[in-house]
Structures are given as C-alpha cells and as structure tokens.
Structure 1
Amino acid sequence: MQISSSFPRRILGPAERGAGWLAGAFLIALAVLAPLAALAAAALDADLAHWTHLINYVLPQAMQNTLLLLLGVGVLVTLLGTGSAWLVTAYDFPGRKFFSWALLLPLAVPTYIIAFAYLDLLHPIGPIQTLIRDLLGYDSPRQFRLPDLRSLPGAIFVLGFVLYPYVYLSTRVMFMTQAASLLEAGRTLGAGRVGVFLRVALPLARPAIAVGVSLALLETLNDIGASEFLGVQTLTVSVYTTWVTRSDLAGAAQIALAMLVIVVALILLERQGRKRQRYANVQRMRPMQPRRLSGPAALVAVLLAAVPVLIGFAAPALYLVNETYKRFHSVGGVSNQLLNGLFNTLSIALVATVVTLFCGLVVAWAGRTLRESARWNPGRWCARVASLGYAVPGTVLAIGLLTPLTLLDRYLAPALGIQGLFLMGSSAALVIAYTMRFLAISTGSIEAGLARIPASMEQASRLLGETASGTLRRVHLPLLRPALAAGALLVFVDAMKELPATLLLRPMNFDTLATWLYAEAARGTYEEGAVAALAIVLAGLLPVILLARTNLKIGH
C-alpha cells in the first residue's frame, strides 16, 4: 500500500531556495569591498612625487610611532589582561566576584575619553600632582612634577589600561574551561603554582590571548582622539591631518594603504597564534578550584585587581561626574549646541543600528539558507567579506568611501531630481560608514542566534511549502529576538562612540557627542566636554553589563 502525503509538496524555485538572499548578501559584500578598492586605486594612481614626499617626511616618523605604540600597548594589555584573568580565576579573595565583572568596566570608556580625562587629572597643576606635592612637602611644579602625559609612553599607558579587557575577557573564559586534572598533573610532576601557570595554563590559553591582543591592537590602530590629544603622530592621525588640513586625498589614501598593511599583519598574527591549537575532550571536565587567600596575600590580591579598575575606569569616571556636577552647578544646564549633538548622536546611531541589523540579517540568512543546498556555500564567503569593515580603522574606511559616495552623488542625485550632494552632503554618509564598520557585530550575533535554532524546524517549514523568506519571518525571527536585541545594543553603543569616521564624513555644522568632545578637548575647554563624555560612558555601560552577566554565567 502506498501512503500519500497529506500536505501538498511543490518544487521550490531558485528564488525560494535563497538565491534572492544570496544576491542581497553579494551586493552588501561588494559594497564593503568598494571603499577598499577605491582606496587602493586612489593611492596607486597618485604620482611619484606624492610617494617620495610621504616616504621621506611622513611615513618614517608616523610608522615608527605607530609600531612602538602597538608594541607597548600589546605588552601592557597582555600583562594586565592575562594577569587579572588568572588572579580572579585561580585565587579566592575578598571582593573576587565584584572584580570578576568590574575588570570589564574600562570597555565602557572610549580611549579618547580616558585621554581627555587624564590630561586634566595629570596636569602639572591638576588634582593628582597637587596631592603628591602636598604629601611630599613641595610647593610648586618646578620642584616636582610627573613625566608629561603628552608623549608616546603616556599614550601607551592610557590605551593599555582601557583596552586590556579584550585580553581579560577571552583569556578568563579559557582559564575557566581548562580541566583541573591537567593543572593537578603538573603539580604532581613537581611544578609549583608559578610553574603550572607558565608551563600548562598559559600555553593552553595562547589562542585566547592572541585573539584579545589582536582586538586591542586593532582598536589602538583605529584610535585618533587619544593619540592626537597626547601628541603622538600615528598613521591614523596622519591620514586625518593630510585630508582635513591639506585636502590631499591621494596622500591620505597612501597613508591609509600603509595602515591596511598593518591590519593584515595583525590578522595574520592572530591566525598564527591560534595555529595548530586543537583540543579534544571525551568526558566532562572538572573546572579548576580557586585557592583561598587570607592575610597579606589576600590584601595584595585585592590591590592587584583594583589597580586596573581604578586607573581604567573609576578615576576618569569620577572626574567626569565631578566636572559635570560643577557645570550644572555653575551654569545650570548645558548649551543648545550640546543638546543638538545629543539628538544627532541618538538619531544617527538609531538609524545606523536598524540598517546594520537588516544587512546583517540578509548576510546571515543567506549563509543559513544555502547551508545544505551547495557544497561550496557562497553565503558564508559573503559573510566573511562583509565583516571586513570591523577590522578596517574608521579613518581608512572613511577615506575609502569618499570616492564611491562622490560617484553615487554624481549619478544618483540627478536621477532623483536632487541638486547638490545627496550622500556626502547629509548624514547618510555616516549611516553607510557605521553600517560597514559594525556589520560584523550584527552578522556574528545573528549567526550565533541561528546556530541555536535546530535545523529540523526549518526543514519542517520548508516541507510544508514555506519559502525561505516565509520561514525566516514566521519561524526564525521570533526565536532570534534575544540575538537581535544584543546585536542592536552593541551596534548602537559603538555607533555613539565612533569618532574617526564621524570626523571625516559628517556634514557641515553637524556635531555628535564624540565630535563635540573632540572639539572641546582641542580648544582646551573641559566643562561641556565632560558632560558629553559622561553621556557616552553611561551609554557604554549597557553592553559591558551584558558582557559581565554573560561572563558570570559562564563562570557558574
């Protein structure tokens, strides 16, 4: 007897199998590649005189400063991140649970805000140096003063204490998932606690350290505000000054191309750090039990855990609160320009978040739809290409976007009956730049959410005759709400903090909180700048709290 199906089955056409989603993902990936291609074309099209001037006068000093900055920050974040991760994982001391999430707080503060705060805090007549002189019995800065923060070591200090959480977060997860039996085997073979850490735990955590350091160095390379505030002429600062001060697009493109070489080197370094690192466990691991400390050892542990939190978050945050209070107490409010900056920041970040989530959904769903329909999944490759923007510094991306956006204005504006610059003359350029810059965040978040949804649900929907779009709308989107919310939060806050791309692509007389703070610091006025900085920090606390809660769940 032959049993027929009770529901109609039909052959799905190419569009229903996901070809439409693949076409959308391909266009998004192509859009991300466009500024990089335009950047290379602008740099290579310049005459020899440009290259000669850069090689003789600009690149040597800027490249040296950038490499020294990357080296110093890399060493500092490795020491701070790895050391603090091992401290709160391997030892139990008073306040350990508090420090396990408080060590993430510097992530809430952009680098340029830390530099802004410490320029005032560590000023020769600022509160910290004044207190030190009072304690030592000195009367004036001529008798005693700390080394000038406006220097390369000062930039390394500031960036290192802001960016170490990237290493701390990835390394602590690795330490918490290491099997206690491996560490106990090392102790049994005669190694002390330091030996077990150096010879067992640290080599096993090397891939996580490489990932964290690479992210920290990419953020260092993207920085423009802190480096310029502290007087360090990096490649990023050189790109900005070459374009804004000299209006030299070819020269800026050439410097940006040199920065891309460093980006590729950092990515290769991260890949090399994880090379041949494979682990297999056939039984459930017993996590490491922290050793309880008491007496002087516990006090030392508390101090070691508190120093990064104090320097990287507490001191600058308290400074911003105090300056904001003084501003409201003396003036009674903030200026209309700052309120306009707040409105611009929120509106641009909101629009960019919606666009970025939509593009991320297209890219992620294209890879999911074609997962079983093709041996070679072009959707996954589109996702990889679309995620390149996060590795490209904002200044480089902005310079690369100038030519494509100008070409679009030349042909798109007349077709729409618009006079003037349609994209470059409006905030649309910022939305495009933010979307390309943070597309990796939304794509990764949505892909992680899709991975948690069983493939059987999708197969059942397709067997019932539903299309790929219908399956996404009726089955997956309701289940993706947590992933979409997390991705939206991260993209929104990152868009609020973005400074380099905003400085280069914003329309005339258009300020965000980040550019307002940059202008106030450049003028040496800190009152309203502190208000803008505090608003950015408060917004940045939201994703940090989310990360801390996730990290604590992993620990339990």
Structure 2
Amino acid sequence: MTVFSAPLQQRLVRDSRAGKGWLWFSGLFAMLACLPVLALLFEAVQGSDGLWSHLLATTLPTALIDTTTLLLGVGVLAAGLGTSMAWLVTAYDFRGRAVLEWALLLPLAVPTYIVAYAYLDLLHPIGPIQSAIRFVLGYSSPREFRLPDIRSMAGCIMLLGFVLYPYVYIPTRAMFLTQSASLIEAARTLGVSRRGIFWHVALPLARPAVAVGVSLALMETLNDVGAAEFLGVRTLTVSIYTTWITRSDLPGAAQIALALLLLVVALVSLERWARRRQRYVSNIRRTRSFTPVSVHGLSGLLLCALASLPIIIGFVLPASYLAVEAYKRYQFAGLSPRLIGEAINTVTLAAIASLLVLICGLVIAYALRLFPKAAARWFFRISTMGYAAPGTVIAIGILVVAGGFDRIVNQLWASIFDATSGLILIGSGAAVIYAYVVRFLAISAGGIDAGFERIPASLDHAARTLGRTVSETFRAIHLPLSKTAIVAAGLLVFVDCVKELPATLLLRPLNMETFATHLYGEAARGTYEEAAIAALAIVVVGILPVILLARVGRRL
C-alpha cells in the first residue's frame, strides 16, 4: 500500500479537481454546440399538424429534386477534376508543374457565391465574354448569337464544381504522393500502360481520399445559399432562407432544415458505408514515391494548359473581374464610408468568434488529452458536429435558442423594471458570433488536438513529477509547443467567419452589414459593380489559408 505525505495528497486532490474542471468545461462547450440542433428538432416538432403535409405537397419535392441533382452533378465534376488534376501534377513532370501544384488550390479562396456573382456579369449577353465571342464570329447583336443562360442547374453545377474540386485535389494528391513506387514499377513490368496504372493501381488505392474529398465538396454545396439563389436553383438551403425571411415562418423553416440535416446524415452514412470493407495500409517510411514521367515540347504545353483550365475558370477570371470592377468603382466614387463600416463589422465579428472558438477548442482538445478514454471523447465528437451541418441549419436552431432567451430576459426585465430589454442576442450580433462558434468549432478542436498529439506524453509526466499542476503543464508545455497549430486553426476560423454567408444573413441585426451580406444584397438587386470592392476583399482574405495549405503541401 502506497502512503503519500499530506502536502502531496493535497496536490493530487487539487490536480484531480483541476483535471475534472477541464472535463466539465469541455462538456459545457459541447452542450452549447449541440443546443441549436436540439432546438431545431423541438421547433420542427412544434409545427402545426398540417405543416408537414403542406411542405411535402409544395416546397420539399422541388427542393429535394434540385438539391439531389445539384449534389450529383457537383460530386461527379469535383471528383473528376480533383482526381485528374492530382494525378496530372503527380505522375508527370512538365514546365510549370511546380507552380500548378499550389495554384490548383486557388479556387478555395473564392466563395461560391462570389464566383456566381462574378460570372453573372461576365457571362451576361452583353457582358465581356459573350461580346468578345460575337466580335470574333462576326455577330453584332445578342439576338444573332448568345450562349446558354448561366442561370440554370447546369450553370450552377459547372461553377460549383470548378470552385470546390480542391477539396478532392488536396487529399487525393497526398494519397498519390505516398503510394509506393514498387507497386507502379511492378505494374509497368507486367506491361500495364500509364493510363492502366492510373485506373487499376493508383485510383483504387486513392479511393478513400476521393470519397472524403467529395463528401467535403458536397457539404459545401449544401451550405451554399448565395450561388444557388443567384443562379435560379431552389435547393433546400434556399428554401429555408426564403421560408424564414419572406414568410417569417420559423416552424416551416425548422422543418425544412430538419430535412436538410437528415440529408447530411444520409450523405455521411453513405460515404462511410461505401468504405466499410476497404482497408489500405502503406508504410511510407520504408517506401519511396514513384518518379514522375518527364514530358517536354508540345505535349508538355498541352498538359500545362489542361491543368491551368480549372485555375482560370475557378479563380483567375472571377478574381480579375473583381479587381477591374473594384478599381473602376474606386476611381469613380472612392472608398465608401459604408464599406469602412462593413469592414469593421466583418473583422470584429470574425475576430471575436475566432477568439472564442480557439478558447473552446483548446479546452476540448486538452480535456481529450487528459481523459482520452472518458467522456471527453464524446464531448469532442459532439462539439464538432456543427461543421457537418449547413450554416442555415445552425442558424435556424440558434434563432430558436436566441429567441427563447430574449423572450425570457424580456419578461423578467419587464416584471422588474416595467420596461423592455430588447433583443439581447439577436439585436446585438451575439447570435451571429454564436453561430460562427458552433459552425467552426470543429476546425479549432481538430487542429489543436492534432498539435497536441505531436507532444510526447513523457513531457506531461515529467512536468507533473516536477510539481506542475494540470493547468501549469498546459501553460508551460502545451501552449508553447502547439503555437503553430493554434495559429493555423485561428487563421482558418477567421477566414471562414469572413466568408460565411447563410448564418450571417439569417442572424445579423437589421442595422448591421458585413462584406458577405453587402455583396448578397447588391447581387440580388442586380447592381454588381457596387459590391466589387467587398467581394475582392473577401477573396484577398481567402487567399491566406491557400498559402498555408500550399506550404503544408510542399512538405508532403
């Protein structure tokens, strides 16, 4: 039997309580993260008996068909583009390949609603692209020649596919880079062509990465509200927004959001079911990557042009358009005071949310490190579920929570002071920050946990042996050694908050505009040039994580 001295026993008791404190706070943050989903379920059940039948007869069939068609089209296009581009820059060595490896990430810097906003003007019948085509072909009027209208399902699929393919490109290229050269050489020895190696060796081994990338692209498609509405596609996400904003029907919006949430669960379950029997093991420390084939001359130029096409469509054209229009607007009217106010709102909301997300992520990740086999693992999983749900779903749930909170406070305030307290959460922008925290907590918790996993457990044991408490160990060891992971997670969260449109549209106070909501409003009115500066600012901010991803990609 081990006997401890009284001071040591007291320190052990304090350490145990401190450790439990991290666990309790982790549970609290997890509960706050899942509260909007629970509120959504409650509100959907509270709807009138005839509401579901009305939605099934009118709104849901069209929305489900459009959503399913959009998901299928974007999934196929993103998978094809992402996989083919990843193989192209991995298996072949041609002039410009080094630049294309990171440039293929650039479409991630442009949110889908900004791409739709730009192409609506670029591909307008009297816009620059169609005018140039008519000039080359000798036509003088749109009545003589015009391209198909981009406001269609096909146009929406094309634009979203060319913007979201990097979600497939990143994991698939990483998988191609880690594949063993011996497998490729064995296939070549057996007489398999380069094309056959891709179809029969490389692609089957990369299938898990492709599946994960496609699922991420589809999640982003479901989260989109601006591009789909601009291009005339009535998805479930657009139906949620119009049901609440146009008809002020919160129960109806909640029930459509519930249907969308069920679709997300079905997509995740389908992706995991499809890979349930697939196992891929590769010891990358003992294998060498295969050497790319050198391609010169005209063939190399063709490969470079082919790999450049997604970059031109997904980034160069819309970014160039925004830069030109922003310059014209600045030359004509200067920098509007309204834009300065919107910049302050955008940065303030994103900065506050990023700080809160980092604090919550640190607590959840450290609790998981202290109690890896306890409830902390469940708290971690629950806290990250918001990232899988579209922003409109989270926003509707938060509307229920914030509305209920504001009503309770207003009643108490009226009973005590005989006055109204107003909308504390919804009227102050706190509901928007809450939505950002729930939506992007997974990025912070996941990134910080990955940073903590690189720290050997022996350092924790050594610190505890030297008399450091749990919290002191966190401050002295884990924070300094995880600084890079924390900064990277904070950057990604900040950029995502700046770009987030659905939750901001639904939850922002009436007197508050951000870059994203300003752009949405101008595009909805057809005054595209008015929001060019705001759109360009979002794209410039969006380039920051692309630079980070490119630096990480060079280390693969």
Equivalent residue, structure 2, for 1:26: 27
Equivalent residue, structure 2, for 1:377: 374
Deviations 1:176-201 (A, max 9, x none): 00001111111222211111110110
Deviations 1:278-297 (A, max 9, x none): 31438611101000011221
Would the alpha carbon gap of residues 324 and 411 (structure 1) be closer, same or farther in structure 2, given more than 3 Å must change?
A: same
Letter of the 2:58 counterpart: Y
1:517 touches 1:532 (CA, 8 Å); kept in 2? yes
Would the alpha carbon gap of residues 282 and 537 (structure 1) be closer, same or farther in structure 2, given more than 3 Å must change?
A: closer
Letter of the 1:473 counterpart: R
Equivalent residue, structure 2, for 1:153: 154
In 1: Cα distance, 2:15 partner to 2:469 partner? 11
In 2: Cα distance, 1:169 partner to 1:534 partner? 24
In 1: Cα distance, 2:101 partner to 2:270 partner? 28
Q: How many Å apart are 1:336 and its aligned residue? A: 1.6
2:312 to 298, 310, 319: 310
Equivalent residue, structure 1, for 2:127: 126
Equivalent residue, structure 1, for 2:83: 82
Equivalent residue, structure 2, for 1:143: 144
Equivalent residue, structure 2, for 1:489: 491
Q: How many Å apart are 1:553 and its aligned residue? A: 1.6
Equivalent residue, structure 2, for 1:435: 437
In 2: Cα distance, 1:511 partner to 1:264 partner? 32
Equivalent residue, structure 2, for 1:164: 165
Letter of the 1:505 counterpart: L
SS in 2 for 1:519: helix
Matched, 1:404 2:401: yes
Runs of 4 or more, structure 1, over 4 Å off, are 7-10, 412-418
**Which segment drifts farther, 461-470 or 385-394?**
461-470
Matched, 1:467 2:464: no
**Which segment drifts farther, 454-463 or 388-397?**
454-463
Letter of the 2:398 counterpart: L
Equivalent residue, structure 2, for 1:109: 110
2:205 touches 2:280 (CA, 8 Å); kept in 1? no
Equivalent residue, structure 2, for 1:337: 338
Letter of the 1:191 counterpart: V
In 2: Cα distance, 1:282 partner to 1:518 partner? 46
1:388 touches 1:440 (CA, 8 Å); kept in 2? yes
1:334 touches 1:528 (CA, 8 Å); kept in 2? no
Q: How many Å apart are 1:8 and its aligned residue? A: 5.6
Matched, 1:457 2:459: yes
2:78 touches 2:161 (CA, 8 Å); kept in 1? yes
In 2: Cα distance, 1:282 partner to 1:197 partner? 19
Equivalent residue, structure 2, for 1:231: 232
Q: How many Å apart are 1:466 and its aligned residue? A: 2.1
In 2: Cα distance, 1:367 partner to 1:499 partner? 32
Equivalent residue, structure 1, for 2:58: 57
In 1: Cα distance, 2:17 partner to 2:366 partner? 13
In 2: Cα distance, 1:155 partner to 1:389 partner? 25
In 2: Cα distance, 1:272 partner to 1:208 partner? 15
Percent of matched pairs sharing the same residue: 57
Letter of the 2:234 counterpart: Q
In 2: Cα distance, 1:282 partner to 1:217 partner? 30
1:295 to 294, 297, 310: 297
In 2: Cα distance, 1:30 partner to 1:282 partner? 39
In 1: Cα distance, 2:433 partner to 2:398 partner? 12
Q: How many Å apart are 1:446 and its aligned residue? A: 0.5
Q: How many Å apart are 1:13 and its aligned residue? A: 4.3
Q: How many Å apart are 1:479 and its aligned residue? A: 1.3
List gaps (5 residues or longer) in structure 2.
none
1:8 touches 1:464 (CA, 8 Å); kept in 2? no
In 2: Cα distance, 1:550 partner to 1:280 partner? 21
In 1: Cα distance, 2:147 partner to 2:350 partner? 39
Q: How many Å apart are 1:15 and its aligned residue? A: 4.3
Would the alpha carbon gap of residues 412 and 477 (structure 1) be closer, same or farther in structure 2, given more than 3 Å must change?
A: farther
1:17 touches 1:369 (CA, 8 Å); kept in 2? no
**Which segment drifts farther, 472-481 or 76-85?**
472-481
Deviations 1:230-282 (A, max 9, x none): 01111000000000100101110111111011111221133234433231438
Equivalent residue, structure 2, for 1:319: 321
1:16 touches 1:469 (CA, 8 Å); kept in 2? no
Deviations 1:492-519 (A, max 9, x none): 0000000000000001110000000000
Equivalent residue, structure 2, for 1:254: 255
Letter of the 2:42 counterpart: A
In 2: Cα distance, 1:513 partner to 1:487 partner? 22
In 2: Cα distance, 1:144 partner to 1:222 partner? 35
Equivalent residue, structure 2, for 1:391: 388
2:83 touches 2:169 (CA, 8 Å); kept in 1? yes
In 2: Cα distance, 1:8 partner to 1:510 partner? 55
SS in 1 for 2:71: helix
Matched, 1:536 2:533: no
1:165-180 aligned at under 5 Å gives the runs 165-180=166-181
In 2: Cα distance, 1:12 partner to 1:540 partner? 47
In 2: Cα distance, 1:432 partner to 1:219 partner? 20
In 2: Cα distance, 1:243 partner to 1:441 partner? 28
Letter of the 1:72 counterpart: G
Q: How many Å apart are 1:100 and its aligned residue? A: 0.2
2:107 touches 2:163 (CA, 8 Å); kept in 1? yes
In 2: Cα distance, 1:99 partner to 1:541 partner? 15
In 1: Cα distance, 2:22 partner to 2:404 partner? 26
RMSD of aligned residue pairs (Cα, Å): 1.7
In 2: Cα distance, 1:25 partner to 1:339 partner? 37
TM-score of the superposed pair, with normalisation by structure 2: 0.95
List gaps (5 residues or longer) in structure 1.
none
Letter of the 2:482 counterpart: L
SS in 1 for 2:165: helix
SS in 2 for 1:139: coil
In 1: Cα distance, 2:176 partner to 2:246 partner? 48
SS in 1 for 2:527: coil
Would the alpha carbon gap of residues 283 and 176 (structure 1) be closer, same or farther in structure 2, given more than 3 Å must change?
A: closer
SS in 2 for 1:12: helix
Q: How many Å apart are 1:526 and its aligned residue? A: 1.6
Deviations 1:68-96 (A, max 9, x none): 00000000000100000000000001100
In 1: Cα distance, 2:125 partner to 2:33 partner? 46
Equivalent residue, structure 2, for 1:12: 13
Equivalent residue, structure 2, for 1:263: 264
Equivalent residue, structure 1, for 2:185: 184
Q: How many Å apart are 1:151 and its aligned residue? A: 0.4
Deviations 1:360-408 (A, max 9, x none): 011101100113xxxx321111111100000010001000111211222
SS in 1 for 2:151: coil
